[in-house]
Structure 1
Amino acid sequence: MSEFVEEPVYAQLARVGKALSSPVRLRLLDLLDQGERSVEQLADDAGVGLKNTSAQLQQLRAAHLIVARRDGNRVLYRLADRDVSTFLGQLQDFAAHRLADLRDAVGELLEEPAEWAPVTAEELQRQLDNPAVLVVDVRSAAEYAAGHLPGAISVPGRQLRDRLDDLPVDREIVAYCQGPYCVASPQAVRLLREHGRRARSLAGGATRWRRTGQPLETSL
């Protein structure tokens, strides 16, 4: 049997796999899927040192998964294009289907009982005009202003307990946060249910909504 000789085709394919082989880089890609950020913002949001964040970003740039632009003294990063976001969603779904350990880890992170089955983006799209459904964005006011689901109201998670009386008891509430591993909406659902509301979260949050091609509204 002849010895395998690395072909340029497979070497190039491996560049993408290598770029995705780091948990830190995957986290950075998820953050950039939410919008443009500086290296300082990424380091802070990811909880990673500035130097390490910068090094990881260079590897993602080398694989053409992200691009950068200069804004005065700052360098801002974003995903290279929409295809990267779509691919990330496919990767997450594929991994969840294949890896029981990933499903267990997500379950432990979100702590959503089976009976709280999240609403899918496709389900919610059909319910947007239903007056019996109220969509609540529990992200920050700034994130809401930058882009939110049509008709959603803003109730940041930190304010939810103080604003419970503003939320009706006779409507089903769909709460959402940013992405597929965001804990804010499951926490909001738990609080709402404890106070007599019918509530579920949106599976995959605003990121999944956007990845399925659904529109967002802005308040800027």
Structure 2
Amino acid sequence: MNRTEQKRSIYQHFAAVAKALGHEYRWELLELIAQGERSVESLSQGTELAVATVSQHLQQMRRAGLVRSRKEGRFMYYGLADDRVISLMAGLREVAERNIAEVRQLVDSFHGDGSELDAVDADELMAQIESGGVTLLDVRPEQEYSAGHLPGALNIPVEELQERLRELPEGQTIVAYCRGPFCALSEDAVQLLREQGIAAVRFDSGYPEWKASGLPVQ
């Protein structure tokens, strides 16, 4: 095999990884897996997809090196192959948002209530954490919070927030975060908090992106 053939063979493998990301269900599955290891049944419940459909997509992503699997009893569990998968997804998302007008329009529509204007990025959030001027609020389910979260974050799932407002410290801005840039849980939380007169903004990404950037987690 000459050098040109070798190069094309390498590119073929790169293309196989890209092809494995070529379905919207797989992006949805990866968003959940990025929160922590999940069983096929749990992923089926989280996406409302049939177990057989979920299993098929996971097997294709495993062959492409995007996820890893292990068996425990009669259950199969999946996790990210490594945090570079999150970086890959972020890079593809940024290219699409910058260069495809329809994607920009869809993103603007997704954040249609204007709350994206009050989002903070990772650098700003890290500075606020170090200054002690904010309270981090993780509004994901407890299972995902237990698998990993931003340092010092309180966990109040968004569906419990109304009844647990008294657990939030007074006099600090609340920064809510959840699964990623297209997880609506944090936006719902910010809206609820503002309706109660509580200063609140959201983190413009999520736990997986924070972790993949090498920032501290617990």
* TM-score, with length taken from structure 1: 0.87
Alignment partner, residue 148 of structure 1? 149
Name the SS of the counterpart of 1:204 in structure 2: strand
Residues 207, 10 of structure 1: alpha-carbon distance in 2 compared, 3 angstrom cutoff: closer
How is 1:1-220 mapped onto 2 (pairs within 5 angstroms)? Answer: 7-113=8-114, 116-168=117-169, 170-217=171-218
Counterpart Cα distance in 2 of 1:132 and 1:13? 44
- Show CA shifts across 1:113-147 (max 9, x none): 16742111111111113343111111122322222
Q: Report the CA distance between 1:193 and its aligned residue.
A: 1.2
> Cα RMSD between the aligned structures?
2.1
Q: Report the CA distance between 1:175 and its aligned residue.
A: 0.8
AA aligned to 1:34 is Q
Q: Work out whether residues 181 and 205 of structure 2, in 8 Å CA contact, stay in contact via their aligned partners in 1.
A: yes
Residues 10, 133 of structure 1: alpha-carbon distance in 2 compared, 3 angstrom cutoff: closer
Residues 71, 24 of structure 1: alpha-carbon distance in 2 compared, 3 angstrom cutoff: same
Name the SS of the counterpart of 2:145 in structure 1: helix
Q: Work out whether residues 135 and 153 of structure 1, in 8 Å CA contact, stay in contact via their aligned partners in 2.
A: yes
Counterpart Cα distance in 2 of 1:74 and 1:185? 31
AA aligned to 1:103 is R
Structure 1 unaligned spans of 5+: none
* TM-score, with length taken from structure 2: 0.87
AA aligned to 2:126 is Q
- Show CA shifts across 1:127-173 (max 9, x none): 11334311111112232222221121122211211223443553211
Q: Work out whether residues 89 and 211 of structure 1, in 8 Å CA contact, stay in contact via their aligned partners in 2.
A: no
Segments ≥4 residues shifted beyond 6 Å = none
Q: Report the CA distance between 1:208 and its aligned residue.
A: 1.9
Residues 134, 70 of structure 1: alpha-carbon distance in 2 compared, 3 angstrom cutoff: same
Q: Work out whether residues 28 and 47 of structure 2, in 8 Å CA contact, stay in contact via their aligned partners in 1.
A: yes
AA aligned to 2:174 is I
Name the SS of the counterpart of 2:119 in structure 1: coil
Counterpart Cα distance in 1 of 2:30 and 2:216? 21
Name the SS of the counterpart of 1:35 in structure 2: coil
